[in-house]
């Protein structure tokens, strides 16, 4: 999730940083529509429109995407395979 510690980024918003971070995280982590995220928050007693969530995703989504790509391990040339069997005519290797 987005680190809510950077509350300077979230200043001027009506909702707490934790709620904004949770809504943006749900949009990126799961294949949910904005209305689905709105329903998730409503189930937790937080009334917010899908349009507000769309604005949050537009504003804070790039920061979240950057944190994902920064924390992701780099691809390498090593592949770890488990029990590879190569069948030939009469023998398996």
In a domain, 87, yes or no: no
Q: How many CB atoms lie within 10 A of CB 26?
A: 18
Tokens representing residue 25 in the block: 């995280």
pLDDT digits (tens, 9 = 90+) for 17-71: 999 999 999 998 899 999 999 999 999 999 999 999 999 999 998 888 777 767 6
CA angle at 33 for the pair 57 and 54, rounded to the nearest 5° = 25
Number of domains comprising the chain: 1
Q: Is 80 part of any domain?
A: no
Asked whether residue 92 is domain-assigned, the answer is: no
Does the predicted model carry a pTM greater than 0.85?
no
Does residue 38 form part of some domain?
A: yes
Residue 24 lies in domain:
17-71
Q: Does residue 76 lie in a domain region?
A: no
Query: Between the ranges 12-21, 49-58, 82-91, where is the mean pLDDT highest?
Result: 49-58
CB within 8 Å of 48: residues ≥ 6 apart: 15, 19, 23, 38, 41, 42
Residue 22 lies in a domain: yes
């Amino acid at each position: 999730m987005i680190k809510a510690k950077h509350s300077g980024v979230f200043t001027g918003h009506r909702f707490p940083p934790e709620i904004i971070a949770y809504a943006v995280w749900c949009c990126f982590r799961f294949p949910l529509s904005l209305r689905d995220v709105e329903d998730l928050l409503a189930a937790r007693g937080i009334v917010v429109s899908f349009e507000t969530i769309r604005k949050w995703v537009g504003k804070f989504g790039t920061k979240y995407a950057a944190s994902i790509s920064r924390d992701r391990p780099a691809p390498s040339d090593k592949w770890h395979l488990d029990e590879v069997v190569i069948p030939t005519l009469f023998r398996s290797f």
